[in-house]
Amino acid sequence: MTPTDDRQLPSALAAVAAITFDYADGEGVDFEPYPAFWSADETTEWIRAWTGNRGLTGEEWRVFGMDGTGGQGAFWLTRLNRPLSDQPIVFLGSEGETGAVARDLHSFLWLLADGMGPYEAINPRQRDRAPRPNPELAAIAERFAPAARQSAATVISLAIEEFPAFDEMIKERCR
The one-letter amino acid at 59: E
For residue 155, give the nearest of 113, 92, 93 by alpha carbon.
113
Note the pLDDT tens digit of each residue in 83-103: 999 999 999 999 999 999 999
Q: Is pLDDT above 50 for 49?
A: yes
Half-sphere exposure of 16 (CA within 13 A, CB side): 30
The three-class DSSP label of residue 74 is strand
Domain count, the chain: 1
Structural domain that includes position 13: 5-173
Percent of the chain with pLDDT over 70: 96
Q: What is the mean pLDDT of residues 68-93?
A: 96
